[in-house]
Amino acid sequence: MPGTTLILGGARSGKSRFAESLLAGKPGDARLYLATAEARDAEMAERIARHRADRGSAWITIEEPLDIAPIIQRECGQGRYVLVECLTLWLSNLMEAGRDVAAETGRLCAALPNQHSTGGAVLVSNEVGLGIMPMNALARAFGDEAGRLNQRIAAAADKAYFIAAGLPLKLKGE
C-alpha cells in the first residue's frame, strides 16, 4: 500500500490500532513508527510506555516532536512504511514552539509519498471539532489549526478513514 493514508478519530476510538493493522503484514525492518509525543509528565510517560509495549519490538521507532517531514520523505524514499503518531500532538508541539503551522503543514504535504512511491505513510490525527466550542482562545485556536491541518492532509492523502468505536469508515480512496 504505497501512498498516504490518513486515519482520523476521537480519543480512544481505535485509530492507532487500526493504523498499525494496516502495516501489520510489512516486514519489521520496513515499518517505522514516528512518534511525536514528548513525556513531559508522569501520565504522558505512562502513555508512551504503554504504546511502546503494545506495539512491541517489531517496529523501528524514531521520536521526533517537530521535524517530521524530512524523516517521512527519507524513509518512504527508501521503501519504508512510516506510521506517524500523531499529527495533533505534532501540531501542539509546533504551536508551543512558535512555528508557522501553515508552512510546516506545507512541508509535510510536500514530503508525503504518492501511489507511485516505493514506501507509504499512515498518519494518525484526532478529529477535535466534533465537540462543544472550547471556552478559551488557545483551545479554539488549536481546534481551528487542527481542522485546517486535517483538511490539508486529507486532500493530499490517497486514502482516508474515520474511526469511531473501533470501526473504520472509509472517507476517501479505493
Q: Which residues have a catalytic role annotated?
A: 51
Amino acid letter, 3: G
Please name the residue that has the C-alpha cell 485546517: 148
Q: Which three cell numbers stand for residue 58?
A: 517489531
Any bridge partners for residue 82, and if so which?
Answer: 32, 121
Could you give phi then psi for residue 74, rounded to 5 degrees?
Answer: -65, -50
Q: Which three cell numbers stand for residue 134?
A: 472550547
C-alpha 167/C-alpha 170 separation (Å) is: 10
